[in-house]
Structure 1
């Protein structure tokens, strides 16, 4: 009898454990790598006598789709020469093959759009193929080789050059998007593959004011000293450990000067918490590129020291106030900064934590969308009106099954507006899935900064509502299309638009 009782108990226990594991989403790992590259582009003879080469540097993130093929996105900016404010955005694709244990070949291309700083960029569309030889070290790799750049839509920037790259493996873990908003107790998650240390990230939407302290005039001859350039943008932070972190920050001007100024920073910092983690002090230092809108940053290389104080208002949401400086190394362009932001913290993909306030895990949806926009009859300040096209990257974080927040950046690539760019944030609403769970309808309202490319956006404030749908292709990919209206407040840009793109969607385990 005892024997049968033991077997019965064992059977019930196994069935219970099996049902528990079945209810916990499977953890998958996506291999990828971050890349920073640099090339020196010979500029054609235009309005600057004896123009220097443009130092062109990029920040990329690529997914390894199998053992050798990768694809991703990247943003470039000028950091030396005479074209500060020259920026581009694009998509990457390539093949990496080992030729020995340490050596590898990397061949691929980058296609995108952008321009600025009065450069002969045409409509902004360009290609950047490369063929590199690389060497794998323990925690990173270096590669160098041939590349070719061609702004082929009416631009005259083209040529061959060497490129140099640093790559760092950067994998991430995720679950199927269908588990969106699923809640599981930490007790159950500790008996699964999610029983690991969580990774910490934050996303901040902010407004930043630059009080110009330098005496040098704008490229238009306008006096900037004493003026305040108002910026809107977003910042993504990834924590290395409890205190040290890295960040990526993008901003664009919406008031104070002629539209067109933007900056991009990559940096690191140190985080100190107090008052039972309800108050944070963060010291940051970033390096990056910036310019446009008449701001003369010479080659575009900028420094950004900053000190922020944050106060908790909800469990994961903080108000941030920052004070610092933004300047070129020689202080040709020199500003004092003051800003205000809303920051959202995310402890993700692990439950092994000393913080006893967490008792559940919830799977939150994340979308990355790459799309091509078309603005009908985009009004210009001087040139004849014509359609404008732009390449765009948007990231959505689901607040629940139906509401999401968005950040988006876009750069013109056809339509004689190569210097035009946007940086937008907003909210959206989506339906539950229809037609055998294949189709979802959505609406979103975005707003932010835009300018450049002779497009009439006034001082840069832009509003952009839209309606659209997603059609699911696989567990992680969907086709996306939408249409809407774009309106520049203070400018003549007032156009309907349509777009078509592809969406990559996953879910992340968030502690709560």
Structure 2
């Protein structure tokens, strides 16, 4: 990145944060738009979107790019939400970005509609020329309404302003309609009867710790053998279809094995059955999505896995799962057997109607962070990253947190971190609050010296409530690689949207 590029990237990061603020304010406005309502739930239309397109890179190289987003309609046709994009074919497996997207829909007549929007995020990988990692994707989609879903064509531009990628293309887009249902913050904790899912609608979450044992044919992109065992950590979110089948999403990154920067983002589906009531469940699942980075040869990035598992239920809400299976990248040489243990946390229990009705506080947090990152070339340079966080409270003050961080400036395109841990928060008067977090996870890529991938990040923050649902937070802490040279003070600025979700059965 040149000297002139740095201030431009910083301005774009400030623009992103301001946009997230306006989006969160709009969501807060949407919940307050009818103050006379007595219903416990606020219900906003939402959509899950999937798109695929072929992007041109320098040298007439082609790369298949897949995008996923979850967009909530905040009024007047405008929708906002988190999004992620990644390589699925070509030679850039491991390229991922994450960020925020906004889209506006205008009906053209009958089932035809025009969607225009903008995605802003950070990331990179796959040795793609992404510069600092900031990605912009303006788009216009022409879609047809098929009832439960919409499908159509998309005209878009994929641009990394501090890199060498600037491509215009036509792609395909598909979306499914859903609802974002939540309880206003000032009603959290009030007993109420709620039917149906709330929030994003996931029924359980899993913190995953596992290992890959590569097969003898697996190689690195550089040509050498991939012989060492790879340790990984990740998160999985799942939603029931019926008493046995479910679907979900999962993300993981390398924490050991000399492949720091390897990451994967997959959709999963499976089936399970109880063989010992309230004690033991067995099942199987398959997953497909994107993976790569860390000098692992995955070809274009397509990744597939399958596994069998058993879950021992420890309490009403917690279980311990053990899984074994196989993973492969069909376009590359990566093949491995995997084993994993996960702590399974049931968010909404469909079979337990004896527990009292309750609501649980949840925070969506988005913003930017900055720290001086040690690089593998021996230098130390400033790094700016986009941050997305989800906090779910287990008591009035204690919460669990899952977070994703991805570089958007500082010449570290491709650097990504995934972390989870716990936090505490307490009010400081009527409008102020303070909190602290302890996080562990995996990070790598972008030339950052996070050898092995395992990192820890303690943080403390102070927040100011802009309104009952929206807060501005300033945080400080430290990020440290457990084996690499990365060890720096961190400062972050975020916006937090607070709402309540059902903590009881949904059917």
Q: What's the TM-score once normalised by structure 2's chain length?
A: 0.88
Find the residue that maps to 1:347 and give its secondary structure: coil
Which secondary structure state, in structure 2, belongs to the residue aligned with residue 511 of structure 1? Answer: coil
Contact 2:71 2:81 in 1 (8 A): yes
Q: In the alignment, which of 480, 483, 502 is matched to residue 487 of structure 1?
A: 480
How far has the Cα of 1:197 moved from its partner? 8.0
Q: Which residue of 1 aligns with 2:170?
A: 162
| Pairs aligned (count) | 467
User: Which residue is 2:390 aligned to?
Assistant: 395
CA distance in 2, matches of 1:435, 1:429: 16
Superposition pairs of residues 406-417 of structure 1, within 5 angstroms? 406-417=401-412
Rate the CA distance shift 1:25–1:316 in 2: closer, same or farther, 3 A. farther
Superposition pairs for residues 435-446 of structure 1, below 5 Å? 435-436=429-430, 438-446=431-439
Pick the aligned partner of 2:354 from 358, 363, 368.
Answer: 358
User: What is the match of residue 203 of structure 2?
Assistant: 201
Is 1:262 matched up with 2:263? Answer: yes
Match for 1:176 among 175, 184, 198? 184
Match among 137, 149, 161 for residue 128 of structure 1: 137
CA contact (8 A) 1:144 1:162 kept: yes
Equivalent position of 2:30 in the other structure: none
Which of 485, 499, 503 lines up with 1:506 in the alignment?
499
Which has the larger Rg?
Answer: 1
Asked if the contact 1:214–1:332 (Cα under 8 Å) also holds between the matched residues in 2, the reply is: no
Q: CA deviation at 1:207?
A: 0.6
- Structure 1 contact 180–401 (Cα < 8 Å) conserved: no
Within the candidate set 4, 27, 33, 2:41 is matched to 27
Could you tell me how far apart the structure 2 residues matched to 1:483 and 1:151 are? 28
1:178 partner SS: helix
Of the three residues 136, 147, 153, the one matched with 1:144 is 153
1:77 deviates by 1.2
Alignment RMSD:
1.9
Tell me, yes or no, if the aligned pair for 2:311 and 2:320 is still in contact at 8 Å: yes
Matched ranges for 1:247-326 at <5 A: 247-326=248-327
Residue in 1 aligned with 2:80?
A: 71
Alignment partner for residue 50 of structure 2, among 3, 14, 36? 36
1:69 shift after superposition: 0.4
1:464-484 CA distances to partner (integer Å, 9 max, x unpaired)? 001102222233322122111
Taking the aligned partners of 1:163 and 1:330, their CA distance within structure 2 comes to 21
TM-score scaled by length of structure 1: 0.88
CA distance in 1 between counterparts of 2:362 and 2:388 reads: 13
Structure 1 portions without partners, runs of 5+ = 1-21, 46-50
Deviation by residue 1:417-471 (Cα, 9 ceiling, x = unmatched): 001000101010111x2332x2211000111100111111111111100110222
Distance 1:104 1:83, change over 3 A: same
Measure how far apart 1:511 and its partner are: 2.2
Task: State whether residues 204 and 341 of structure 1, in contact with CA within 8 Å, keep that contact through their aligned partners in structure 2.
Answer: yes
Three-state SS of the structure 1 residue aligned to 2:186 is: helix
- In the TM superposition, residue 341 of structure 1 has moved relative to its aligned partner by 0.5
User: What is the aligned partner in structure 2 of residue 212 from structure 1?
Assistant: 214
Question: What is the CA–CA distance in structure 1 between the aligned matches of 2:123 and 2:332, rounded to whole Å?
Answer: 27
Which of 62, 68, 80 aligns to 1:59? It is: 68
8 Å CA contact 1:214–1:333 kept in 2: the answer is no
Runs of 4+ in 1 over 4 A off after TM superposition: 195-200
CA separation of 1:196/1:503 partners in 2, compared to 1, >3 Å: closer, same or farther? closer
Residue 333 of structure 1 pairs with residue 331 of structure 2: no
Match of 1:475 among 468, 479, 482: 468
Following TM superposition, by how much is the alpha carbon of 1:330 offset from its aligned partner in structure 2, in angstroms? 5.5
Report matched runs for 1:444-483 at 5 Å.
444-483=437-476
Taking the aligned partners of 2:197 and 2:345, their CA distance within structure 1 comes to 19
Bigger mean CA deviation after superposition, 409-418 or 477-486 = 477-486
Verify the 8 A CA contact 2:314 2:320 in the aligned structure 1.
yes
Using a 3 Å threshold, how does the CA distance of structure 1 residues 276 and 200 change in structure 2: closer, same or farther? farther
Secondary structure, aligned partner of 1:246 = strand
SS in 1 for 2:484: coil
Q: Answer whether contact 1:424 1:448 (CA < 8 A) is retained.
A: yes
Gapped runs of 5+ residues in structure 2? Answer: 1-35
Using the TM superposition, give the Cα deviation of residue 214 of structure 1 relative to its aligned residue in structure 2, in angstroms: 4.3
